[in-house]
Amino acid sequence: MNRRPEARGGARTRLRGMVRKEFLQILRDPSSIAIAFVMPVVLLFLFGYGVSLDAKDVPLALVADHPDTNTSGLLRAFEHSDYFTPYHYADIQTAMQALRTQQVDGIVWLREDFSRRLLSSADAPIGVIVNGVNANQARITEGYIQGAWQSWLEHYAAAQGRELEAPVMVEPRVWFNAALYSRHFLVPGLIAVIMTLIGALLTSLVIAREWERGTMEALMVTPIRIREILLGKLIPYFILGMGGMLLTVVLARWQFEVPLRGSFLLLLLASALFMLVALGMGLLISIVSKNQFVAGQIAIIVTFLPAFILSGFIFDIGSMPAPVQFITHLVPARYFVSIVQTLFLAGDIWPVLLPNAGALALMAAVFFALVRRRASKRLD
Amino acid sequence: MFARIIALTIKELLAVLRDKRSRFVLIGPPIIQLMIFGYAATFDLNDIPLAVYNEDGGAASREFISRFEGSPHFHVIATPDHDAEIAPLIDERRALMVLHLGTHFSADLARGDSASAQIILDGRNSNTAMLALNYARTIVIDFNEAWAARHGGMAAPAHLVMRAWFNPTLSSRWFIIPGIVGLLTLVVTLVVTALSVAREREAGTFDQLLVTPLRPVEILIGKSLPGLLIGLIEGSLIILVAMYWFDIPLRGSVGALYAGLGLFLLSAIGVGLMISSLSITQQQGLLGAFLFLVPAVILSGFATPIENMPRAVQLLTYLDPLRYFMIVLRGVFLEGSSYALLLHQYWPMAVIGLISLTLAGWLFRHRMY
């Protein structure tokens, strides 16, 4: 009975010792520090500057079988568009060859009878061929071609002394990202992907390593409790991970000029919650596998690719088939991506933040409960 | 010499495959991932949640809206009747798009003036927003043509007739799944090779290997063969699933595909062994593999086109073996590309493979502790 206060005091010492040991291990092996600080910066720069879904200067072949003022009037609309780099071809065969060898991504083809049909029956066809291999890009290109066609229609009507009065005009307003700048939506999502990687990778190896090196047995003969081992592993990596997180947020805000419309404090809280989930996942992997090869494989499989593909960071979850949408609910990054995108671009929208934060809290609780259950000071 | 290499290869294979969990993580997850990602990784939009705010209510406005309701791309989830209801719908991500017709819509149309249709989009995912807007524009253009034809307005004097080559329905799955083949093959090969030297370094058995009669070249071959073997088998399995489960057409020759796969594996193994011989512990090997893997995926053009990247980043992609393999995969699968057309993708992978393997062999002897 009278041992309890002493045991509690001992717990603090033991925990401090464990944390100190982990910190020393991190400092001596620079790869952990590299993963916490260098990787987020490298990735954020690569994505921020390199990854964009905004097609510009699409190489486009322009072919007029029988060039005259009407065809050049139409083709001028494509030449003047900011979205295309026009290339003129004399005949459709060479243009098709260029499409096949990927010199151009699309062809606009005005046949021999274009002018005649334009003037006589007013239903001249404008042939458009796009390279459909990258379907997303092809769709965006088709949208640009439609835009150029519309601007030609207006010019053509004006030249004939009429005003083009389309029955219905579309007035689009894009909220949160008026210029449809893909960087603004990719960078916040990227923070979530990077932090999943870092949190899970940092911790997934730490217990597997102790088992493999046999130092787990050495830890077992000390009076340290399993809870203290876990906490001792968790605290240093939590601090390291939050450091990396802050760095990415600062870069996103000031280097990439993504507006932060929500509150910074909420972002920090959500990040801390998500970091706990990622670390919990890493610890669980590490305890279950007890072998660095398996732990590493599992960490790569359950973190990077799901966070990349199933989180809504780049692919829209609403478009996935129902069973896959269900699976995305098991990916913690999904909730965090939603939170970060909303906090950065839209603001403090509680109906989005609360359910997602709740899901993260639940996942953290489940992971730690599982870790606690699977971890025991026992030899197999 | 052959006997020695074969013995080492068998030993390496055993080191990876002996453990039941290691065996499982090599075979199970890549196939499961291909299935899930194959369905998940799509840029195609269907069922865009749409809210319709019709202040007008006239016959013309209802006709206009029915074109959205009838479209397979849209799905009406709410019909607000106050301005104040719009913001929460978008903010809370219940609707991606709000279609707002003002009180004059039908009257303007009847008078022959331009009526305006306001479209509000959630720009948090700019790509989705842009595609949704394109779908909406197409519907409006169709409506305009039909309206003009019926009410004697001015029809457009020329029409776009659009076709897409290689992928007529513009299904983004056809683009993404060949890419996933490359992605998963890289992951598996890299993990097998990146830990192979590091594991022995950590256990201290690599020094023993160096004092055996095995020459560095033989160690290099012995360490490469398991990766090549596992990569080839995994790659083939994934290609079969892509072809027969996802029905991706294989239009080019199998030979051209395997020439690409072989050279890609060579370069992936080279990079993996180089990382492995640089690292002292398995943790470093794994982290190194990751530090290579993540940028390699991002810069390969797997999800976002290389042409959209700035010039400096585009130059960087030339160092990425996955970049070349992506072009080979998509070229052979969808475009039926020939060897001649793919030659410029083959040789850079061979060069990357040879350089990295040479470096790895050199590091075997020159990085010791």
Contacting residues of A for B183, CB less than 8 Å apart: 305
Which pLDDT value is given to residue B279? 85
Q: Looking at the structure, tell me whether residues B232 and B274 fall in a common domain.
A: yes
* Cβ-based burial of B169 (10 A; exposed 0-12, middle 13-18, buried ≥19): exposed
Domain count, chain B: 2
Q: Grade residue B67 by pLDDT with cuts at 50, 70 and 90.
A: very high
* pLDDT above 60 for A379: no
More confidently predicted of B68 and B24 = B68
Note whether B67 and B142 are within 8 A (CB).
Answer: yes
Task: Count CB-CB contacts under 10 A for residue A218.
Answer: 10
Q: Looking at the structure, tell me whether residues B10 and B120 fall in a common domain.
A: no
Note whether B114 and B148 are within 8 A (CB).
Answer: no
A135 vs B: CB within 8 A = yes
User: In whole numbers, what is the pLDDT of chain A averaged over residues?
Assistant: 84
Looking at B105, B121, B151, which one is the last position of a domain? B151
Mention every residue, 6+ apart, whose C-beta is less than 8 A from residue A380: none
How far, in Å, CA of A240 to CA of A107, rounded? Answer: 52
Mean pLDDT value across residues A8-13: 73
How far, in Å, CA of B82 to CA of A46, rounded? Answer: 44
More confidently predicted of B351 and B369 = B351
Q: Looking at the structure, tell me whether residues B329 and B196 fall in a common domain.
A: yes
Q: Quick one: CA dihedral A189, A193, A198, A203, positive or negative? A: positive
Q: Which of A109-123, A363-377, B142-156 has the lowest mean pLDDT?
A: B142-156
Contacting residues of B for A167, CB less than 8 Å apart: 109, 114-115, 143-144, 147-148, 151, 153
Q: Which tokens sit at B16? A: 């990876």
Q: Grade residue A380 by pLDDT with cuts at 50, 70 and 90.
A: low
Percent residues over pLDDT 70 in chain B: 98
CA angle A252, A258, A263 (to 5 degrees): 85
A53 vs B: CB within 8 A = yes
Mean pLDDT value across residues A322-327: 89
Residue B280 lies in a domain: yes
Mean pLDDT value across residues A210-230: 79
Q: Do A314 and B36 touch (CB under 8 A)?
A: no
More confidently predicted of B191 and B247 = B247
Contacting residues of A for B129, CB less than 8 Å apart: 174, 177, 180
Q: Do B309 and A321 touch (CB under 8 A)?
A: no
Q: Looking at the structure, tell me whether residues B93 and B233 fall in a common domain.
A: no
Looking at B122, B151, B180, which one is the last position of a domain? B151
Instruction: List domains and CATH numbers for chain A.
Output: 4-51+181-374 (no CATH), 58-159 (3.40.1710.10)
Which pLDDT value is given to residue A256? 87
Q: Grade residue A362 by pLDDT with cuts at 50, 70 and 90.
A: very high
For residue B74, the chain A residue with the least C-alpha distance is A319
Which pLDDT value is given to residue B262? 95
A320 vs B: CB within 8 A = yes
* pLDDT above 50 for A1: no
Mutating which of A181, A304, A309, A342 best tests the B interface, going by the most B Cβ atoms within 10 A? A309
Nearest Cα neighbor of B36 from A97, A335, A324, A232 is: A324
Q: Looking at the structure, tell me whether residues B115 and B224 fall in a common domain.
A: no
For residue A33, the chain B residue with the least C-alpha distance is B287
Across the interface, of B21, B93, B309, the residue whose CB is closest to A52 is B309
Q: Looking at the structure, tell me whether residues B132 and B184 fall in a common domain.
A: no
Q: Looking at the structure, tell me whether residues B271 and B336 fall in a common domain.
A: yes
Which pLDDT value is given to residue B345? 92
At A198, the amino acid letter reads: I
Mutating which of B31, B109, B165 best tests the A interface, going by the most A Cβ atoms within 10 A? B165
Looking at B151, B179, B199, which one is the last position of a domain? B151
How far, in Å, CA of B246 to CA of B254, rounded? Answer: 17
Residue B156 lies in a domain: no
Contacting residues of B for A192, CB less than 8 Å apart: none
More confidently predicted of A49 and B181 = B181
Residue B165 lies in a domain: no
Q: Looking at the structure, tell me whether residues B69 and B212 fall in a common domain.
A: no
Between helix B254-278 and helix B196-203 the angle, nearest 10°, is 20
Mean pLDDT value across residues A218-231: 81
Mean pLDDT value across residues A15-28: 83
Across the interface, of A51, A133, A292, the residue whose CB is closest to B175 is A133
A248 vs B: CB within 8 A = no
Contacting residues of A for B90, CB less than 8 Å apart: 175
* pLDDT above 90 for B272: yes
Mean pLDDT value across residues B323-336: 92
pLDDT in tens, B90-110: 888 899 999 999 998 999 888
Mean pLDDT value across residues A162-177: 78
Percent residues over pLDDT 90 in chain B: 33
Phi, psi of A127 (to 5 degrees): -75, 130
Q: How far is A218 from chain B (nearest CA, A)?
A: 18
B52: CATH: 3.40.1710.10
Across the interface, of A129, A157, A173, the residue whose CB is closest to B120 is A173
Q: Which of A93-102, A310-319, B242-251 has the lowest mean pLDDT?
A: A310-319
Residue B163 lies in a domain: no
Of A142-151, A290-299, B197-206, where does the model show the most confidence?
A: A142-151
Of B11-25, B27-41, B267-281, where does the model show the most confidence?
A: B267-281
Q: Looking at the structure, tell me whether residues B133 and B241 fall in a common domain.
A: no
State which residues form the domain around B132: 48-151
Across the interface, of A57, A166, A175, the residue whose CB is closest to B121 is A175
Q: Which of A50-54, B38-42, B98-102, B124-128 has the lowest mean pLDDT?
A: A50-54
Contacting residues of B for A342, CB less than 8 Å apart: 93, 124
What is residue B113's DSSP assignment? S
Residue B358 lies in a domain: yes
Q: Grade residue A168 by pLDDT with cuts at 50, 70 and 90.
A: confident
Q: Which of A51-65, A274-288, B150-164, B280-294 has the lowest mean pLDDT?
A: B150-164
Q: Looking at the structure, tell me whether residues B64 and B8 fall in a common domain.
A: no
Mention every residue, 6+ apart, whose C-beta is less than 8 A from residue B105: B54, B55, B56, B58, B60, B61, B64, B115, B116, B117
* pLDDT above 90 for A118: no
Which pLDDT value is given to residue A9? 62
Mean pLDDT value across residues A245-271: 91
Mean pLDDT value across residues B36-59: 86
* pLDDT above 60 for A280: yes
Q: Looking at the structure, tell me whether residues B283 and B207 fall in a common domain.
A: yes
Q: Looking at the structure, tell me whether residues B212 and B340 fall in a common domain.
A: yes
Residue in this structure with the two tokens 């403090």, named with its chain if needed? A348
Mention every residue, 6+ apart, whose C-beta is less than 8 A from residue B108: B114, B115, B116
